[in-house]
Amino acid sequence: MNFSYNLLRKYLKRGHEVEFSYSDKEYSFSHNEEGWYITEYNNPDYQTFKTANDLLLNGKINGVSIENIWGDVVIDAIY
């Protein structure tokens, strides 16, 4: 499945969560009633956002926007 950035936007806005690998590390986009999160596994630090759109616009991995890294990620799971 080709999981484009536009498809990621649609899935997150519908409330789906995504686990993926990038640059030999594992990450997730997840949410609860308080907001959305970018989490790097085995790292206590995480990024918090009010909405999925906020995560996509302002989230960064290794200092790079989600949109710019998305072509290089490997999807592990979608919930």
Sequence-ordered list of residues with C-beta below 8 angstroms from that of 10, at least 6 positions apart, any chain = none
How many alpha carbons lie under 13 Å from residue 38 in its C-beta half-sphere?
20
Mean model confidence pLDDT for the chain: 95
Report the pLDDT value the prediction gives residue 1, as an integer from 0 to 100.
57
Report the pLDDT value the prediction gives residue 9, as an integer from 0 to 100.
96
Coil, helix or strand at residue 42: coil
Report the pLDDT value the prediction gives residue 2, as an integer from 0 to 100.
75
What is the DSSP-derived secondary structure letter of residue 23?
A: T
In this prediction, the residues of the chain whose per-residue pLDDT falls under 70 are 1
